[in-house]
Structure 1
């Protein structure tokens, strides 16, 4: 089976109603993202950080995968498919994808503040002050915050370097280090970029833009890939 590697971003989740920080509006309009998503924020105003991620988690529990997620899952029948995602939701997994690498953490997981290897699944949306791990420390969102290292990036680079086909969907390729993954793709590998705008990439014969939203773009790409399979 040929190796199909997909880098996904917020654009694919947006069609499921998952809002980015800048889209959340309301209370959050008065805050900079680093005030709710950084180690400093956690130290300065823990309740604010908890409230922010509780709202995001509640939104995720109320959301469902969309056709783009399901089309990707269906491609596992025909390709050795790996997904590297910038998204912290679990919509790829819920659609049926079995091999997903989360660069920036997972919203439905929390971890110990004294032992980062103690990670727990959340089956409800609210994390509260006083929720502790087995070692007695406060639990925090299992999210890579601004100022923290993206530990999964080297694993992602290795996955991307093995691609026979590389797909970028729902990301403008402007968020680093994830955007730098494109440089690990072999020059002979076809690259399909699904985005309705104009992502930041250098044009080359191997890059094939599909200027559509995630769901419509995936239908086009899926048909093409299956015709060539």
Structure 2
């Protein structure tokens, strides 16, 4: 029975992922600012907490929950929560950059720091990045803050894999291409991706549960388009 934590779990890939994981031999803790969609799920394997990765005060409650309800054990963390702002670079404000990095980089860092004490040598930290964060990939106007933040967590994960290579957990990144989610529609109204949130969540589930046996410090490009 693996203990899995997923951030950004109230919609899109995260919402599908927690349901798929619950069908495995897993205990799933779904974290999201909005827990109303999670309350509507009739699944015994899913527990949830109202949680904002940018709120320092929320982490103590999470740590207490792990200690009291999960006996201090976490096997897998999926850093899925994300913020995307689509705006011309000339219009991006310091606050825009901060808001995006606060979720996509600082939130990831804080979550990892909070959970590493509960993860063993066979633990696995999976951070969801984007093809836009891959050097040499196709880039899109308007995504200066978002794509640069996704590049930052790629480098962060590579560094952590080196720092914790003797003790674990393993750190890997999935750089996703376009997926049909609410966040994509909000940023690019009318755009239709060929990959559904369910299909991507199915792939992430398998990688999160098994990838640490093969990979550490790696970035896998998960996209049906090139470059």
Q: What is the TM-score of this pair, normalised by structure 1?
A: 0.44
Looking at both structures, which has the greater relative contact order when contacts are Cα pairs under 8 Å and sequence separation is at least 6?
1
Larger radius of gyration: 1
Q: What is the TM-score of this pair, normalised by structure 2?
A: 0.45
